Amino acid sequence: MKIRTKISLAFLLTAVILTGVTTPVSYFINKNNLERSIFAHLITTAKSRASYVQYFLDTQKGQFRIIQGSEVARGALENKREESRIHLKERLTRILETNKEYYELFVLGTDGKVFVTTNPKEKEGEDFSSNELFIKGKSELFLKGHFYEEEFDRYAMAISGPILSTENELLGVVIARINPESLNDIALDRTGLGETGEVYLVNREGYMITPSRFKEDVFFKEKINTVAAEHCFEDYTPKKEYEEHVDEGVYLDYRDIKVLNSHQIISETNWCLLAEIDEKEVLAPLVTQRKVALAILSVVPFLAFLAGYFITKIVTKKADILLEGVENIGKGNLDYRIEVKTRDEAGILAEAFNKMATDLKKSMISIDAVTKEKNKIDAILQSLHDGVFVIDNNFNVILYNEAATVISGFSFHEIIGRKFFEILKFVHEKDGKTDDNFIKDTIRKGKVHKTESATLLIGKDGKRIDVGSSAAPLEDKQGRITGCVVVFRDITKEKETSRMKDEFINIAAHDLRTPATAIKGYLSMLMEGDAGEFSEEASDMLKNAYEGNERLINLIDDFLTVSRVEKGKIEIVPKKTDLTKLVETSIKELKGQAKEKGLTLEYQKAKLPPVYADEERTIELLNNLIGNAIKFTDKGGVTVYHETDGKEIVTNIVDTGPGISKEMKMFLFQKYRRGGGRSNVTGLGLGLYISRLIIEGSGGRIWARSEEGKGATFSFSLRIVK
């Protein structure tokens, strides 16, 4: 048996074994891992949202206990004086303004009649003695779940509890009606749940009490008779403490669609929280894999046999020709030429031998230096982890390294000598249009160009790969452009890491917002004396804590603003606007900050035509830019002025601060990047990024000019209304 046949059979046998074993094993492993991953995510989601619900309930009870222990309420119920009753009503009204979850507070006497209320529809003296909230609230703190209030035409929750004297005698009952709409956040926040995932709450009677992703108007109307809901309630025993126990499984949901489900009981309210995602969406990636697997099983062995046969045939034939040429050249016949015209490795090798013979004939002295230099360049090029290819000024590829093959899937012989755009397709992420002008412009203009992070490279298998790319011109000794070198790298993992980081920050900021607000309320009440008088030192500490918590809330709001704008939840609506008034409003708000630092804040007001802008967001943009200028300037001041070309108005904010380094300019207007380089200035680097989103959403542009040590100028443009 010939070596050629043996090699072909070896190719065939290897392909049959590898595809027959690895393909089905890989499929089932991937299916199991995919389901486990989704279940783990659903369990985490269910736990997180259940913790949010419990935290919401605990927060309301904690706030309520402060009201129970209020000296103002106790004193008013004991002395029954009108001024005390008025004082109590004012206090309850301020509490409503602080805690947005409460929408009504009222106090009942021991006879069950209204003593004080914040609801103008309820009259003082109205009898609640037969109401469940009064009866149970006389002896303990009582939490009542969702119920319908005809008076307000809405669903509500309520908490009631006793107000006791210092001798522990009942003086009355305080009742708080709570707006349960905050719980809708667990259903409306579908971060990480794909196209069909949702989270919702079901009460003991089986009715949905949060919004549905797929149906309208389900509150207390959609009956959930699923197996998952039954399992959630079947082992339930009434408890007041929070119990973390999560189950999972595959069930039919209320739409009769098979879903992956995770559910958890909320013991205190006897609610069931369910997190679900359609099984069809979960397993969708495996459909393509199954088709590919069948194609591989049927085609690869046959192709492997043919490939082995023809490869050995071609290789052995060309090897004979190359061997004959090597022997002749080795004997010193430098006029001999190897006749291999293909563009593969053998052809390239033949050309190399022919060129080597020519060069040897021309100059035996320079051959060693040329060979060493070539090997050095090849070694450097092939050792790079980034994809690299070089083109001439006709866009033909003349060099192409191994990393480029790994990233794109196109081999050296598929692309060498061809125009790069015939093989390598760079496109925009948003619209899929060709995005290779950064290469063409490099040759035409002779300048270095970089692509945006939203550029994709279409691989040989059709897969779209996120890449970061740059192109630099190549020049001859006379300075003429002879081509360019293009470097690109796969940034898929970097983008995924960034997405996961943003998702984590968004979830963390969302979960921190409620406790931070609650802390603000508690500190406000302490500062107002609800818990008694404090020393001057303690009052200063409370003030510092309140201001620190306020800064935390502002940072959280920045995180949430970025997330909402990126997801389109905050709509930027440009309309006809007087830009001068917006600048004056911002100047007025920031004048105090400039004065505190001893800086001037000047506005060179001009008569301007109206522009297209979102008023609220543009003020936020101005506050960011002018506020940054004040923040990073220690001496001198800040000046705001306008320029126009008849089509747009450019607003410039100029400061006399330390300026911005060349390195930092590259990262301006990106998330978590601060341009000032000052360690004593706080901030997370979101202001300029938010400013960029606002101005781009208004159809304008934003940029910066600066030299280090000479201040900075931040500018943005808005279109003039025609």
The answer to whether residue 536 sits within a structural domain is: yes
From 547, 566, 585, the end of a domain falls on 566
- Residues 6 or more apart in contact with residue 115 via CB below 8 angstroms: 76, 77, 85, 106, 107, 108, 109, 124, 172
CA separation for the pair 35, 599 (Å, rounded): 61
CA separation for the pair 518, 58 (Å, rounded): 11
Of residues 228 and 527, more confidently modeled: 228
Distance of CA 611 to CAs 342, 457, 648, 651, 698, Å? 64, 39, 8, 12, 10
Q: Which residue has the tokens 């603000």?
A: 520
Domain tally for the chain? Answer: 3
The DSSP annotation for 221-264 comes to T-B---HHHHHHHHT----SS----EEEEEEE-TTS-EEEEEEE
CA separation for the pair 187, 198 (Å, rounded): 6
State which of 158-172, 322-336, 552-566 shows the largest mean pLDDT. Answer: 158-172
**Least trusted range by pLDDT, from 47-51, 344-348, 393-397, 478-482:** 344-348
If you ran DSSP here, which 8-state letter would residue 393 be given? T
Inter-residue contact 689 to 670 (CB < 8 Å): yes
Inter-residue contact 506 to 499 (CB < 8 Å): no
The answer to whether residue 474 sits within a structural domain is: no
Q: Is the pLDDT of residue 337 over 90?
A: no
Of residues 28 and 310, more confidently modeled: 28
Residues 533 and 556 in one domain: yes
State which of 410-419, 435-444, 669-678 shows the largest mean pLDDT. Answer: 410-419
Inter-residue contact 124 to 114 (CB < 8 Å): yes
Q: Is the pLDDT of residue 508 over 50?
A: yes
pLDDT, tens digit, 9 for 90 and up, residues 86-142: 898 888 888 888 888 888 888 999 999 999 998 877 677 888 899 999 999 999 998
CA geometry: angle 25, 26, 27, nearest 5 deg = 90
Q: Is the pLDDT of residue 681 over 50?
A: no
Burial class (CB in 10 A: 0-12, 13-18, 19+), 28: exposed
Q: Is the pLDDT of residue 674 over 60?
A: no
The answer to whether residue 112 sits within a structural domain is: yes
Residues 289 and 145 in one domain: yes
If you ran DSSP here, which 8-state letter would residue 396 be given? B
CATH number at residue 182: 3.30.450.20
Q: Which of 573, 578, 688, 697 is nearest to 627 (CA)?
A: 688
* Whole-number pLDDT of residue 323: 64
Mean of per-residue pLDDT scores for the chain = 81
From 566, 584, 614, the end of a domain falls on 566
Across the range 537-551, mean pLDDT stands at 75
Of residues 274 and 566, more confidently modeled: 274
Q: Is the pLDDT of residue 482 over 70?
A: yes
* Whole-number pLDDT of residue 347: 67
Across the range 629-658, mean pLDDT stands at 93
Residues 126 and 252 in one domain: yes
- Residues 6 or more apart in contact with residue 222 via CB below 8 angstroms: 207, 208, 212, 215, 254
Residues 544 and 624 in one domain: no
Q: Which amino acid is at 675?
A: G
Within 10 angstroms of residue 333's Cβ, the number of other Cβ atoms is 12
Q: Is the pLDDT of residue 84 over 60?
A: yes
Q: Is the pLDDT of residue 644 over 90?
A: yes
* Whole-number pLDDT of residue 241: 45
CATH number at residue 668: 3.30.565.10
pLDDT band at 58 (very low <50, low <70, confident <90, very high): confident
- Helices 279-330 and 345-362: angle between axes, nearest 10 degrees: 30
The answer to whether residue 36 sits within a structural domain is: yes
pLDDT band at 599 (very low <50, low <70, confident <90, very high): very high
Residues 608 and 641 in one domain: yes
Instruction: Give the pairing of strands 397-400 and 387-392.
Output: antiparallel
State which of 333-337, 432-436, 593-597 shows the largest mean pLDDT. Answer: 593-597
Q: Which of 440, 465, 464, 469 is nearest to 452 (CA)?
A: 469
Across the range 151-159, mean pLDDT stands at 79
The DSSP annotation for 284-340 comes to HHHHHHHHHHHHHHHHHHHHHHHHHHHHHHHHHHHHHHHHHHHHHHHTT-TT-----
Residues 554 and 652 in one domain: no
Domain span at residue 47 reads 1-318
* Whole-number pLDDT of residue 721: 92
Residues 708 and 647 in one domain: yes
* Whole-number pLDDT of residue 678: 46
From 566, 592, 607, the end of a domain falls on 566
Of residues 102 and 558, more confidently modeled: 102
- Helices 687-697 and 615-631: angle between axes, nearest 10 degrees: 150
The torsion defined by the Cα of 525, 530, 532 and 533, in degrees rounded to 10, comes to 50
- Given its phi and psi angles, is residue 665 left (phi above 0), alpha (psi -120 to 50 degrees) or beta? alpha
The answer to whether residue 338 sits within a structural domain is: no
Residues 550 and 584 in one domain: no
Inter-residue contact 63 to 515 (CB < 8 Å): no
Residues 72 and 194 in one domain: yes
Q: Which of 250, 266, 201, 253 is nearest to 225 (CA)?
A: 253
Inter-residue contact 190 to 212 (CB < 8 Å): no
Residues 520 and 665 in one domain: no
Alpha carbon 523 to its chain's center: 32
The answer to whether residue 360 sits within a structural domain is: no
Residues 588 and 555 in one domain: no
pLDDT band at 434 (very low <50, low <70, confident <90, very high): confident
Residues 541 and 594 in one domain: no
Inter-residue contact 228 to 250 (CB < 8 Å): no
- Residues 6 or more apart in contact with residue 138 via CB below 8 angstroms: 110, 162, 170, 173
Tell me the percentage of the chain whose pLDDT exceeds 70. 78
The answer to whether residue 380 sits within a structural domain is: no
The answer to whether residue 369 sits within a structural domain is: no
Structure tokens of 262?
């995770």
pLDDT, tens digit, 9 for 90 and up, residues 343-400: 666 667 667 767 777 776 665 545 555 456 666 777 777 777 889 999 998 999 999 9
